[in-house]
Amino acid sequence: MDGQTLFVVTDIEADGPTPLHNSMLSFASVAIEADGTRHGEFEAALKPRPDRTTNETTMEWWATQPEAWKAATEGAEDAAIVMPRYADWVESLPGQKVFAAAPMMFDGLWMDHYLDDYAGTRVLSGPFKSRKIFRGGGVCLYTMAGTLRGAPYLDWGMSKLPAEFYGHIPHTHKAIDDARGFANVLVELFKLSAALPPINGSKSDFR
């Protein structure tokens, strides 16, 4: 698939709302083409950063999710080991890689921060780092789903999508489950996009 695009759909779990104060606990990525062809998965649990604290409200919520908490913390490794391994994995994938998440502003922000701190690269492309593993500014499934559905902004929530879009994969707050579900959503959204009339008489090839 040389010259084609591969979407790295990612979900993260954390012990608070921001990487400036809290720690990412786990994340998972599914590499997928727009037509649904898959090219592998990556998942990892991370040890909390010693220079960060937990958020009380978030931890109260985690107390209600024992199975998800176990998945997010079991076998945790140092981020300094995991993030370079993840960057190597992304680079090993064929074609052009684009980061995707729902929403980009949350999961993308965490991954950008951790890749910057521990792997010398970023989610965002551009003249920021010499090592560029992703192309462009990434894809926000939250925005894509809202606009392609023609929904008003206040009705953009991912929970508004039918279960069929997720491939009937429940949103469990286990990073790998949620990444797989969002990967299925992305494929369904591309189907909606393909049904729209082309702009300027030409269809995109997702490059």
Beta bridge partners of 129: none
Mean pLDDT over 158-170 rounds to 93
Q: Which tokens in the block code for residue 80?
A: 């300094």
Task: List all residues 6 or more positions away from 119 whose beta carbon is below 8 Å from its beta carbon.
Answer: 83, 84, 86, 87, 131
Which pLDDT band holds residue 206 (cuts at 50, 70, 90)? very low
Mean pLDDT over 127-151 rounds to 90
Mean pLDDT over 162-167 rounds to 94
The rounded distance, in Å, linking the Cα atoms of 122 and 11 is 16
Domain 5-194: CATH superfamily, name plus number: Ribonuclease H-like superfamily/Ribonuclease H (3.30.420.10)
Confirm if 121 and 85 have CB atoms less than 8 A apart: no
Distance of alpha carbon 141 from the chain centroid: 9
Gyration radius of the chain's alpha carbons: 17
Q: Which tokens in the block code for residue 185?
A: 């959503």
Q: Which amino acid is at 145?
A: A
- Angle among Cα 185, 187, 190 to the nearest 5 degrees reads 110
Which of 7, 198, 191, 201 lies closest to 96, judged by CA?
Answer: 7
Query: DSSP per residue over 68-91, as a string?
Result: HHHHHHTT-B-HHHHHHHHHHHHH
pLDDT tens per residue across span 24-80: 999 999 999 999 999 999 999 999 999 999 999 999 999 999 999 999 999 999 999
Domain assignments of the chain as residue spans, ordered by start: 5-194
Mean pLDDT over 197-203 rounds to 62
Beta bridge partners of 170: none
Which position has the token pair 């998800």? 68
Peptide bond preceding 50 in cis form (omega within 30 of 0): no
The rounded distance, in Å, linking the Cα atoms of 188 and 65 is 29
Distance of alpha carbon 11 from the chain centroid: 4
pLDDT at 1 over 60: no
